[in-house]
């Protein structure tokens, strides 16, 4: 395809990675597979937006940095995403735990996105995000990954998927609600509403699977299967995700100490809270508070 975006992530040593790119419609999608041992370093800074999709990978040591955010030393990178706005510095390094790491880089040309403003979409927000999870955005990126690696060669489909991915990035960075796909065989709408409301109301409690299954008249085994199909994750992980989201609000408001906030959202100790928060967001609670909460002032 024509319309090539030139800047890409610099990787050293370069012989540790196999790279394949598809260009067009103001976007470049690049598939990477790391197979080398030792330390791998990635650097990027360019006048284009970039989304990183970590499909598979675990590091024994390493760090990820996006200018404007605290550094993250998250070890398990599987199903994580990172958004780097145009002009921001990105750097990460890995010492892999295992034989492979697979990821995608999506580069978006800002000038070629202006046409979207006619349809109610403005330029992408200047809001970096590091090692986060979002099911809707993930599934759209996964479709593009499949297209690139299949060498499908349909430029119209590539462009349509790229436009959809841009919409999803804007939705996420602006805090807009996602449109969840209706999956056959999952929870019925009334079941999903009932279970989600119960988990929200008992966020700081330990909820047995049997209790949730009984609410929607299913066996525990069948409930776990259809819950994951509908919401993209097991019930325990879903509750943890809600706890972390609520903790973010409390941290931003400085509503208590780290221990108090952790206990308030249902974690048994400060260390359990810090571990779960770091796993979900890639940064420690204290670093998150410093990045979003206004400093305390004294008169």
pLDDT digits over 157-210, tens only? 888 888 888 878 877 766 655 554 444 568 888 888 889 989 988 999 999 999
Closest among 122, 151, 110, 123 to 26, alpha carbons compared? 110
pLDDT at residue 83 is higher than 50: yes
pLDDT tens, residue by residue, 15-54:
888 888 888 777 889 999 887 678 899 999 999 999 999 9
User: Radius of gyration over alpha carbons of the chain, in Å?
Assistant: 20
Q: What is the pTM of this model?
A: 0.61
Structure tokens at 176: 């807009």
The answer to which of 18-27, 72-81, 163-172, 290-299 has the lowest mean pLDDT is 290-299
Share of the chain above pLDDT 70, in %: 85
CA torsion sign for 185, 190, 193, 199 is negative
Distance of alpha carbon 266 from alpha carbon 204, whole angstroms: 3
Q: What pLDDT score does 118 carry? A: 47
Q: Give kind and range of the element (H or E) at residue 90.
A: strand 90-96
Q: What pLDDT score does 146 carry? A: 86
Closest among 71, 129, 47, 62 to 94, alpha carbons compared? 62
* 10: Cβ contacts below 8 Å, ≥ 6 apart: 42, 43, 44
Region of residue 235 (phi > 0: left; psi between -120 and 50: alpha; otherwise: beta):
alpha
Calculate the average pLDDT of the chain.
Answer: 83
pLDDT at residue 267 is higher than 60: yes
* Highest mean pLDDT (candidates 52-66, 120-134, 168-182): 52-66
- Return the higher-pLDDT residue of 151 and 56: 56
pLDDT at residue 120 is higher than 90: no
Mean pLDDT for 267-274 is 91
pLDDT at residue 62 is higher than 50: yes
pLDDT at residue 3 is higher than 60: no
The answer to which of 27-41, 146-160, 260-274 has the lowest mean pLDDT is 146-160
- Residue 52 buriedness (CB in 10 A; 0-12 / 13-18 / 19+): buried
For 204, phi then psi, to 5°, come to: -95, 15
Q: What pLDDT score does 261 carry? A: 93
Q: What pLDDT score does 175 carry? A: 60
Mean pLDDT for 109-118 is 61
pLDDT at residue 226 is higher than 50: yes
Q: What pLDDT score does 75 carry? A: 86
Distance of alpha carbon 260 from alpha carbon 280, whole angstroms: 19
CB of 272 closer than 8 Å to CB of 262? yes
Domains (range + CATH), the chain:
10-173 (2.60.120.10), 189-292 (1.10.10.60)
Distance of alpha carbon 250 from alpha carbon 260, whole angstroms: 10
Strands laid side by side in the 59-66 sheet: 10-12, 39-44, 90-96, 59-66
Distance of alpha carbon 118 from alpha carbon 295, whole angstroms: 39
Q: What pLDDT score does 298 carry? A: 42
- pLDDT band at 112, cuts 50/70/90? low
pLDDT at residue 148 is higher than 90: no
């Amino acid at each position: 395809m024509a319309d090539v975006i030139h800047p890409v992530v610099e990787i050293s040593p370069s012989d540790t990675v196999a790279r394949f790119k598809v260009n067009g419609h103001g976007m470049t999608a690049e598939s990477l597979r790391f197979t080398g041992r030792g330390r791998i370093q990635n650097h990027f800074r360019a006048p284009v937006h970039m989304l990183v999709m970590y499909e598979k990978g675990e590091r024994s040591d390493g760090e990820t940095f996006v200018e404007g955010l605290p550094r993250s030393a998250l070890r398990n990178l599987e199903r994580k995403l990172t958004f780097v706005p145009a002009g921001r510095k990105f750097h990460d390094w890995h010492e892999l735990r295992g034989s492979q790491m697979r990821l995608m880089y999506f580069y978006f040309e800002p000038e070629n996105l202006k046409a979207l403003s006619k349809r109610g979409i403005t330029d992408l927000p200047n809001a970096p995000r590091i090692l986060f999870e979002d099911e809707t955005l993930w599934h759209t990126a996964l479709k593009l990954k499949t297209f690139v690696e299949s060498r499908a060669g349909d430029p119209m489909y590539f462009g349509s998927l790229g436009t959809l991915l841009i919409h999803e990035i804007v939705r996420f960075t602006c805090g807009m609600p996602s449109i969840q796909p209706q999956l056959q065989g999952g929870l019925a709408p009334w079941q999903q509403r009932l279970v989600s409301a119960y988990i929200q109301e008992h966020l700081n409690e330990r909820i047995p699977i049997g209790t949730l299954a009984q609410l929607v008249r299913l066996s525990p085994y069948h409930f776990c299967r259809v819950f994951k199909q509908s919401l993209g994750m097991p019930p325990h992980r879903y509750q943890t995700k809600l706890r972390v989201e609520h903790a973010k609000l409390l941290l931003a408001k400085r509503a208590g100490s780290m221990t108090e906030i952790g206990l308030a959202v249902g974690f048994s100790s400060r260390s359990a809270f810090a571990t779960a928060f770091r796993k979900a967001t890639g940064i420690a609670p204290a670093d998150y508070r410093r990045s979003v909460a206004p400093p305390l002032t004294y008169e």
